[in-house]
Each structure stands twice: as structure tokens, then as C-alpha cells.
Amino acid sequence: MKKLSCVGLISYVVVMIFIPVITGLWLFSGRQPSGYVKDNGGKTEISYLDVADGKVRICDIEEYLVGVLAAEMPAEYELEALKAQAVAARSYILSKTDSRSDKHPTADICNDSAHCKGHLDEKMAKESWGKKKGDTYWQKLTRATEETKGEYMVYGDEVVEAFFFARSGGRTENSEDVWGESRPYLRSVESTGDLSYSEFVSTAEFENSEARKRLGTFENQSEGPLSIGKITRTDGGNIKSIEIDGKEYKGTEIRKIFDLKSADFDVTQTDKSVIFSVRGFGHGVGMSQFGANEMAEIGKKYTEILSHYYTNIQIVKK
């Protein structure tokens, strides 16, 4: 009996205390990323890797956002576009606190614009704008951040990983057509404001031999025009696939190989060269910054801009 009691007691301890503690630890461990966002006296703190010196720093997300706006969107853009950008960037950063990149597991984000989001501190930003406009622009970006303080987008319970880019070719892209992963809030939508951009189409020309070197097919054939075969396009208008010299490439691959501004392009040829006529600039997923500015210019609010570019999202406040 005594032995049984002892077993009972051990079982009790295991079931009632040990397992919950272990489970609790496990749950805590699983939820740890959101713990990285610390509320400190009303401030939401995040950690970022400064790629300039390799150090991880902690800062208030609202202060950090002003520097993200400075790096990521032209400061002369309309206030409502900058406010949309502030909410999009805040959402992006908060989404990263729940799923840190393997490239910097000790920091929520980094300040490399090619990986996470760019960031300029006040001094650097003002230097880039020049003495005349520096103070005004910094104040404007601060205002865009303050007037949307704590606001971010959710889709259901999920914080929206709010991608954005410079300008589209008239429509944005479905996320799966660019990166293979479908997100319900990253759908292809119209972005007609982008069409008014004066440098809407850029061209890139390559001699046939250079084009084949880049494609890695130079050894097989160096002379003569490239043979362009079947082309398919995405819902957003980007090249989905293109056949060149009998080999099929994704549009995103061709963009990378030829360093094109986007994957929305046409191909023409001469005897000696191949010419890409490229519409827009960027990956095409999420908010077009130029399109957002065009919407702001015709009186749309930042909430309308965000609801247009991110499908079925809600804006909530922390």
C-alpha cells in the first residue's frame, strides 16, 4: 500500500507537475520568437542585425521604422503612401519576430535591403536627402510612423508578411508565381497607377554570344539569333516560363540571369543581339510603392491602399 502510494505520488508528480512544466517549457520554447518582441514601458522592442558591423541591436520598433521608410520609399511620396508603407513595414517586421531567418537566428531582422528591409539612421538619411530637405523629410517620415503607431495587418490570426516592391507592369503577382508559396493575402491585383510612370519600360540588350554565356549554352552554340520558343505568363503578367534554344526557364530565372528590373518582359531579336523590354521594377508581390503613391494622389487613404494591395486583411493596433 505504502509502495502503491509512493508510485501514486510519483505518478501524481509526473502527471500534475512534471509534464505540465515540460509542456510549458516546450510551449514557451515554441512561442519564444514572439517573446523577442518585448513591451518595455509601452515600447515594442525588436532586435536587428546591423550588417555593417555584424552586431545585433535592440531598439523600439517605432523609431526603427522611420529609418526603414527612409531607406525603402522616396520621402517625397504622399503622406498616405508613406503611412501605408509604415504599416506594411511594421507588419513585415512583426511577422519576422515569429519566424526568424536562418541567416540571423539571433535577430528578428537585418538591415540588408536585399534580405530583410533596408534602414538608414537619421544622420545617413539626412545626408542622402541634402541639407535643404533633410529635416522636413525626416519629420514627414516620423509623422507617417506616428500617425499609424502600433498598427499592423493580420489575415485571420496571422501577421501579414507584407512584401512590397517599387512598381509593377500594371498588375501585381500571386506569391506562388514568384516564390512557389501561395499566401491568401498576396494575390494578383490591378495596379494601374504604375502605367503612368515615365520610365515604365526599360530595355536591356545582349549580344547573342553574351546571352548564351549567361545562359550557360555558349559551348553548344555561339552564333546566330537565340531560338525563342513557347512563352507562358502569370496572372499578373510576368513571364512564367520561356523556352530559349530548346530549354525552358522560369521568368524569375531569366530576370536573375540577365539582371532585369522585373520578370514582366517581352523579347525581340536582331541578327546580333537579344533585347528585353521590361515593364515595372521589382518582384511584383504585395504593394506597389509607385501604385500606392498614385492612389494617395487621387485621395485614397492608407487603409484603402493597404486593403487594395493585400487581399482580405484587417488592420489592427498593438
Query: Nearest distance from residue 71's CB to Zn ion, in Å?
Result: 13
Q: Are 171 and 236 in contact (CB under 8 A)?
A: yes
Residue 48 or 155: the one with the smaller Cβ distance to Zn ion is 48
Give the nearer residue to Zn ion in terms of CB position, either 115 or 149.
115
Compute the least distance from the CB of residue 115 to Zn ion, in Å.
4
Contacts of 306 (CB under 8 A, 6+ apart): 84, 87, 88, 153, 287, 313, 315
CB 168 within 8 A of CB 284: yes
Residue 122 — φ and ψ, nearest 5°? Answer: -55, -45
Q: Distance between CA atoms of 314 and 303, rounded to whole angstroms?
A: 9
String of contacts with Zn ion for each residue 47-66, x by CB under 5 A: --------------------
In the numeric block, the cell 513591451 is attached to 39
Q: Which is nearer to Zn ion, 100 or 250 (CB)?
A: 100
Kindly state the smallest distance separating residue 283's Cβ from Zn ion, in Å. Answer: 16
Least distance (Å) between residue 52 CB and Zn ion: 13
Pairing of strands 247-250, 265-269: unpaired
Nearer Cβ to Zn ion (105/130) = 105
Q: How far apart are CA 138 and CA 128, in angstroms?
A: 11
Q: How far apart are CA 72 and CA 68, in angstroms?
A: 6
* Closer of 96 and 171 to Zn ion (Cβ): 96
Cell triple for 277: 523590354
Q: Does 46 bind Zn ion (CB under 5 A)?
A: no
Q: Give DSSP secondary structure letters for 51-91.
A: TTTTEEEEEEHHHHHHHHHHHHS-TTS-HHHHHHHHHHHHH
Q: Give 77 or 92: the residue with its C-beta nearer to Zn ion.
A: 92
Q: How far is the CB of 153 from Zn ion (least distance, A)?
A: 20
Q: Can you tell me the distance from the alpha carbon of 290 to that of 73, in angstroms, rounded to the nearest whole number?
A: 9
Closest CA to 160 of 189, 183, 144: 183
Q: From CA 3, how far away is CA 205, in angstroms rounded? A: 86
Work out how close the CB of 107 gets to Zn ion at its nearest, in angstroms, rounded to a whole number.
8
**CA-CA distance, 116 to 297, in Å (whole number)?**
28
If the CB atoms of residues 99 and 220 are measured against Zn ion, the closer one turns out to be 99
Contact between residue 179 and residue 246 where contact means Cβ atoms under 8 Å apart: no
Binding mask 86-125 for Zn ion (x = CB under 5 A): ------------------------x----xx---------
What does residue 51 show for φ and ψ, rounded to 5 degrees? -70, -15
How many chain residues are in contact with Zn ion, going by CB under 5 A? 3
In whole angstroms, how close is the CB of 96 to Zn ion at the nearest point?
A: 8
- Nearest residue (CB) to Zn ion, 285 versus 305: 285
Q: C-beta of 164: minimal distance to Zn ion in Å?
A: 15
Binding site for Zn ion (CB under 5 A): 110, 115-116
